[in-house]
Structure 1
Amino acid sequence: MKKIGTLLLSVILGIGMIGCSSTDKNENIATVNGNGITLGNYEKVLELNKQSIEMYYGESIWDQEVEEGVKYKDTFKEMVLDQMVYTEAIYEAAKKENLLPTEEEVNNEIKDFKAQLEENEDYKKQLDKIGIDDNFLKYQFERDLASEKYKENFNKNNSISEKEMKTYYDEHKDEFYVDEVEASHILIKTTDDNGNELSDKKKEEAKKKAEEILEKAKSGEEFSKLAKEYSEDTVSAENGGDLGFFGKGEMVEPFEEAAFSMKVGEISDLVESDYGYHIIKVTDKVDEQKPFDEVKDTIKTTLEDEKYNSQVEKLKEESKVETNKELLEKVTVK
């Protein structure tokens, strides 16, 4: 599903409040080389992005200050419009290079998009509420497909050489260095289900229990069985305490320090963290530089993106962009 599809699914969960005192939705809120971005289309894109943001950060994000006297909802309006300006600049460039999608391609995207939402009984009603009609879908998918075609063509004509990839690898070797530990653990908690610290008496009882389990583990009893039976980290307990591989900065500090200092097969003494008492068993360690051939595809993608992003910036810089600031000021995010 295209990006718009993902965002629309979030809109189904609830309609937000994007408003503007202007009733002329065909009025241009911005123009790019004379091509208009209408208030109506801007408000719809703004609403789609708003719902997506709220799913991750909650509604309180809008009144958070990004700098003194400036709230996130104000910069958000500008960010969305800026992205639409970029999209319009790419669309025009694609048009000049005869890379626009065909009517059939656009219609197929709309058809596929609708098919993915047919199972939701509130589909039409919710789309109507924010004005997501066929005209908007056509507008959006024309630009989505044009952007894809333009990027694909640009990458084809600006291929990344082996020399460029090797130079990047040599200059960014730290990005491809792997220092990870694979470990299992048994946790005896010193907090309740709400995360509150237990009383001193109960903490002492927890420590005693952990010491008894540690003795069993050190004497040779199977670690995974002990984890399944005793560990209060219920998620990892189901897998015998297995936490998989993790790098530095991914675990709480006392746990990390212990795990990275241990040898493969070693079982730790009790390690205390804010969660409780851990018994750790290191099952594997990786400390190596990934070879060039293993990461060259990743490097290629990175360099392609860098070149393409520079091209998009150039397209915008060369475009004549005019913003109706008075109209933008009237748009509200609540």
Structure 2
Amino acid sequence: MKSKKRLLLITVLALFFSLVLGGCGGKQEIKQGDNVVIAQVNGEDILYNEFYDIYNYTLISKEIDPETEDEEELAYMKEIKEQILEDLITRKVMQQKMEADGYEITDEIMKEAEDSFNSMIEMIGLQMQLQAQFGGDEGAEEKDYKKEAEEYVAGELELMNMTKEDYIKNMAEEIMANNYFEDLTKVVEASEEEIKSFYDKELEISKTDGNGAIDLIKPAQTRVKHILIKIADEDTGEYFNLYTGGKFDEAESFLEEKLAEIKPKAEEVLEKAKNGEDFEALIDEYGEDPGMESEEYKDGYLVDEMSNFELPFKEASLKLEEGEISDLVPTVYGYHIIKAYEKSEEKVYTLEEKRDEIKERLDREKKNEFVEKEIDRWMEEAEIVKYMDRI
């Protein structure tokens, strides 16, 4: 079987990590068979239990009833079985190759795996916290999200019939595999000719449709700051409710009404800005965009044709000359008074400016391709026996 892209060691870890934040249905029971040999790789056994834990968890996560009689689901379950067995065989071949070349899990690798596990817990906890906060969960600030993340992961590990120690060991195996492949591909790198050829092709693509693999053209940009005179948040929400409900005319009439209510204040601030009053001071006094107060946007917003700003805001920003202040710009959020602080023309990056980025990308692709071919060669050379009737 032709190998898939698989630079990293294919383990239960990879399956778990890809699914751990995806959620799954209730636990389903699949009767586990005897711990029989389901495959042999160079005389080394792969046992049914190794397969079962992954297969069981996969069915649970994909909410597939193991007792289903649906033909499509049965065919899909057969594909899952075949792929899991193929992955286990590939893993075994790679493990044998690494052991033969003297690679083993050291204390340093185990420490790195433990640190990675703890970082994963923190990441999951942070995601839980963000979901709770944005979901309006009452008491979100008072919860111990690290503890919740630990309990969640413990539950997932239980479904996979794994302990925390098992999981960390799998992580350590993956780190060892990464180390092995890094050493194996040390001399694999892109040539100067390949780098230049990639640049020339990507530049042509960027000039024609702008969808190149890397950014070789920096679009014309305007750096702006603005004073936002807001309509009430609940009014913006009502506008969106009307609009998404298909009541377009009603939504536009509602927005015009709410904009009219704040227009006198907006015109007053605009007059001050046009008369030369300090724009930064006006932002502080009247502006209602939190972004203007953040450290991230202390220098303003960079606006170009690809920006995701409201269209009237974007169009007005790009028309301004450096130092120029716009008239009132209405959007669903209120009136904007925009000042252009800096304009830059379109820039085409030279090969030298992008050489390192291109080389890194091509090196990675060539290393991946090299590893794929090596794994294919190892698989072809290995003595593999499969007992599909046992799974």
TM-score surpassing 0.5?
Answer: yes
Aligned counterpart, 1:183: 224
The counterpart of 2:329, out of the listed 260, 265, 271, is: 271
Does structure 1 conserve the Cα–Cα contact (< 8 Å) formed by 2:224 and 2:300? yes
CA contact (8 A) 2:316 2:329 kept: yes
The equivalent of 2:342 in structure 1 is 284
Q: 1:281 to 1:41 in 2, by over 3 A?
A: same
Q: Cα distance 1:17–1:257, how it changes in 2: closer, same or farther (>3 A)?
A: same
- Structure 2 residue aligned with 1:138, among 169, 176, 195? 169
Paired residues for 1:123-134 under 5 Å: 123=150, 127=154, 129-130=158-159, 131-133=161-163, 134=165
Question: Over residues 145-194 of structure 1, what are the superposed CA-to-partner deviations in whole Å (9 max), with x where a residue is unaligned?
Answer: 20x12442344121222332222222223321111332111222345336
- How far 1:303 sits from its partner (Å)? 0.5
SS in 2 for 1:172: helix
Partner of 2:366: 307
- Summarize the Cα distance change of 1:237–1:140 in structure 2 as closer, same or farther, 3 Å threshold: closer
CA contact (8 A) 2:113 2:175 kept: no
Cα separation, partners in 2 of 1:136 and 1:311, compared to 1, 3 Å: same
Q: Secondary structure at the match of 1:265?
A: coil
- Are the counterparts in 1 of residues 32 and 52 from structure 2 also a CA contact under 8 Å? no
Equivalent-residue separation in structure 2 for 1:154 and 1:26 (angstroms) = 35
Give the structure with the larger strand fraction: 1
SS of the equivalent of 1:23 reads coil
* Aligned partner (choices 149, 152, 155) of residue 182 of structure 2: 152
CA contact (8 A) 2:304 2:318 kept: no
Q: Is the contact between residue 303 and residue 318 of structure 2 (CA under 8 Å) also seen in structure 1? A: no
Q: In the alignment, is residue 255 of structure 1 matched against residue 313 of structure 2?
A: yes
Alignment of 1:174-213 (within 5 A): 174=206, 175-179=215-219, 180-190=221-231, 192-193=233-234, 195-197=237-239, 200-213=256-269
Cα contact 2:310–2:331 (8 A) shared by 1:
yes
For 1:195, the aligned partner's letter is: G
Equivalent residue for 2:278, pick from 203, 222, 239: 222
For the Cα contact (< 8 Å) 1:99–1:149, is it kept in 2? no
Task: Encode CA deviations 1:122-145: one digit per residue, 9 max, x unaligned.
Answer: 747952634442234323421342
Counterpart in the other structure of 1:55: none
Relative distance call for 1:114 and 1:45 in structure 2 (3 A) is farther
Quote the residue 2:110 is aligned against: 107
The Cα of 1:299 is off from its aligned counterpart by 0.9
How far residue 242 of structure 1 moved from its aligned partner, in angstroms, is 5.0
Alpha-carbon shift at residue 263 of structure 1 (Å): 1.8
Q: Whole-Å Cα distance in 1 between the matches of residues 40 and 228 of structure 2?
A: 59
Quick check: 90-99 or 196-205, which moved more? 90-99
Q: Residues of 1 paired with 2:388 and 2:202: CA distance?
A: 43
SS at match of 1:183: strand
Aligned to 2:132: none
- Pair 45,215 (structure 1): closer, same or farther in 2 beyond 3 Å: farther
Contact preservation (8 Å) 1:85, 1:316: no
Q: Point out where structure 2 has 5 or more consecutive residues left out of the alignment.
A: 1-12, 65-71, 123-143, 207-214, 240-253
Distance in 2 between the 1:258 and 1:83 partners?
Answer: 57
Residues 38 and 223 of structure 1, relative CA distance in 2, 3 Å threshold:
same
Q: Secondary structure at the match of 2:313?
A: helix
CA contact (8 A) 2:51 2:88 kept: no
* Unmatched runs of 5 consecutive residues or more in structure 1: 51-60, 64-69, 328-334
Please say if residues 89 and 316 of structure 1, whose CA atoms lie closer than 8 Å, have aligned partners that are also in contact: no
Contact 2:224 2:339 in 1 (8 A): yes
1:95 corresponds to 2:80: no
SS at match of 2:347: strand
* 8 Å Cα contact 2:231/2:259 also seen in 1: yes
| Structure 1 letter corresponding to 2:158 | K
The answer as to 2:191 corresponding to 1:161 is yes
Offset, 1:308: 2.9
CA contact (8 A) 1:188 1:231 kept: yes
CA distance in 2, matches of 1:12, 1:145: 25
User: Secondary structure in 1 aligned to 2:238?
Assistant: coil
Q: Is the CA contact (8 Å cut-off) linking 1:86 and 1:312 kept in structure 2?
A: no
Please say if 1:172 is aligned against 2:202.
yes
TM, length-normalised to structure 1: 0.67
What amino acid sits opposite 2:258 in the alignment?
Answer: K
Pairs aligned (count): 301
8 A contact 1:189–1:232 mirrored in 2: yes
Alignment check: 8 A CA contact 1:90 1:315 kept = no
Contact map agreement 2:51 2:84 (CA 8 A) in 1: no
Contact 1:27–1:38 (CA<8 Å) still a contact in 2? no
Residue 157 and residue 223 in structure 1: after superposition, are their counterparts in 2 closer, same or farther (change >3 A)? same
Q: Which residue is 1:40 aligned to? A: 53
The Cα shift of 1:290 comes to 2.4
Cα distance change, pair 183–270 in 1 and its aligned pair in 2 (3 A)? same
Q: Match of 1:185, SS?
A: strand
By how many angstroms is 1:21 displaced? 1.4
Change (3 A) 1:115 1:237: closer
Give me the identity figure in percent.
28
